[in-house]
Amino acid sequence: MLKNRPPRGEESAHAHGELTSRKASSGFTLVAALFGFSLITLDTSVVNVALPFISSSLGGGVSGLQWVVDAYTLAFAALLLSSGALTDRVGASRAFAMGIVMFTISSVVCGLSPNLLALIVARAVQGIAAALVLPASLALVRQAYTDPVKRARAVTAWAAGGSVSMALGPIAGGALTTLWDWRAIFFINLPAGAAALLLLVRAPRSKRNPAPLDMPGQGLAVVALTALAIAVIEEGKIRLIAFPIALVATVAFFLTEARQAHPVVPFDLFRNPAVRIAIAAGAACSVVFYGVMFLFSLFLAMHEDRSALYVGLVFLPMTGLIAVTNVLSGRLAERYGPRLPMAVGQSLAAIGALILLVVGEGTPAGLVSVLLVPMGLGCALALPPLTALMMDAVPAERAGLAAGVLNAARQMAGGLGIAVFGSLVAHDFAEGMRLSLMISAGLLGVTAVATSKLR
């Protein structure tokens, strides 16, 4: 047996080659996951500044623009409930590839849409794809790094990529829409998606793990959420039909989940007050952040007659500081615990929403840009610690499930917030915007008080 053993030099070279190959594979996996996560995060903010120009091109009014955003957001939110389990069943690499392919193709369809209905349907498909990509991209990172320290750094890089994409979204959307056309914000996803798939080729295949899927619960969640959005956005007979459907589907969802062995939303999670507060605070921040971005995009472009690039530049100070604030917030949470930065962040965002009440026709763009900062920074300060609070409140084996519930709740709240705020401004924009900002401040004030009382 000793005769068949390779010389020590060859063993060393072989081991070095394997180590180098693993490092390269991990690097490619991380970059692929970053591309995918950044792609779907960018899409949540890049579209906002282009909305008025989509309306000019395809028509549809405010309700049509609400659906352009909510078709993506609500599909994304609803499917997040099951996408983690689906990722485990098919393997992270396969789920990621499926999601990226679907997202890229639907992006091209969005760019080619001849009418508003085609765009809305394609946006819903984008949302379904995004729900696949999000958990799969994080699972790929976790699988690529076995060392806890390196894995923590990789996850931090993954999260930072999403923050940077969120920050660049408005300016990227404004630049593409102004220099080319609103369709460019979707066509740009084609090379980005192709790059993610090429990088994924160098990543190892993920193992499949049996994971139960709660299809009845998932289906009822989609029906309830869609019907509720229709009831809020639409008017007349459609609203009268949609509200009862939403109510029946919601009741059926709760009854079904109570009997499921593996429900998409395990209600026993909510017995812990920290979980309830984390979800409520995350939902409030999403309502305010996405709702305010939606309103001010319409205000600047449609009522102040500004270009898309101009609108993007107005948002830049707020979004550009989000990544820095996220890092600061994480450090504050490590030192003081999550409750303090959460309460301070929500309070700051509530004050920021009230400050925005001074904005009206003729307000200088530079001042609007500055006034948006407190609201954005407050939400950015609250989000990392509320996620940490949620993770600390559940057992380690339920961390993935809890993260899925939290992210789904945030996305659902953001989508419904846009639906409600859009309906409020549909008839009287100034009065509707004022009421929306007051609702925002009230929601954040309530969750800030609840957070401060948490022990």
295-318: pLDDT as tens digits: 998 898 888 878 888 888 898 888
pLDDT digits (tens, 9 = 90+) for 276-296: 999 999 999 999 998 998 899
* Closest by Cα among 386, 454, 376 to 169: 376
Position 247 scores a pLDDT of 93
pLDDT at 125 over 90: yes
H-helix or E-strand containing 78?
helix 61-90
CA 185 – CA 188 distance, rounded (Å): 6
Q: Directed axis angle between helix 322-336 and helix 365-392, to 10°?
A: 40
- The DSSP 8-state label assigned to residue 207 in this structure reads P
Tokens representing residue 12 in the block: 């060393």
pLDDT digits (tens, 9 = 90+) for 66-105: 899 889 988 888 888 777 777 777 888 888 999 999 999 9
CA 57 – CA 339 distance, rounded (Å): 46
The reported pTM is 0.81
Instruction: Output the average pLDDT for the chain.
Output: 83
Name 283's Cβ contacts closer than 8 Å, sequence gap at least 6. 409, 410, 412, 413
b/e per residue, 373-389, with b = 16+ CB within 10 A?
bbbbbbbbbbbbbbbbb
Name 94's Cβ contacts closer than 8 Å, sequence gap at least 6. 205, 206
Position 206 scores a pLDDT of 62
pLDDT at 21 over 60: no
Position 445 scores a pLDDT of 95
CB atoms under 10 Å from CB of 399, counted, come to 13
Position 2 scores a pLDDT of 45
- The mean pLDDT value for 156-164 works out to 74
Task: Give percent of the chain above pLDDT 90.
Answer: 26
pLDDT digits (tens, 9 = 90+) for 395-415: 766 666 777 788 888 888 988
pLDDT at 440 over 80: yes
End-to-end alpha carbon distance in the chain: 65
- The mean pLDDT value for 166-189 works out to 87
- In DSSP notation, 372-400 reads HHHHHHHHHHHHHHHHHHHHHTS-GGGHH
Specify whether domain 266-455 bears CATH 1.20.1250.20.
Answer: yes
CB atoms under 10 Å from CB of 278, counted, come to 30
- Residue bearing tokens 């001849």: 114
CB atoms under 10 Å from CB of 221, counted, come to 26
Q: Directed axis angle between helix 8-46 and helix 189-200, to 10°?
A: 160
Position 447 scores a pLDDT of 95
pLDDT digits (tens, 9 = 90+) for 320-375: 887 778 778 777 877 888 888 899 999 999 999 999 999 988 888 889 999 999 99
CATH of domain 19-213: 1.20.1250.20
pLDDT at 109 over 90: yes
Number of H helices, E strands in the chain: 17, 0
Sign of CA dihedral 313, 315, 321, 323: negative
If pLDDT is split at 50, 70 and 90, which confidence band does 183 have? very high
If pLDDT is split at 50, 70 and 90, which confidence band does 111 have? very high
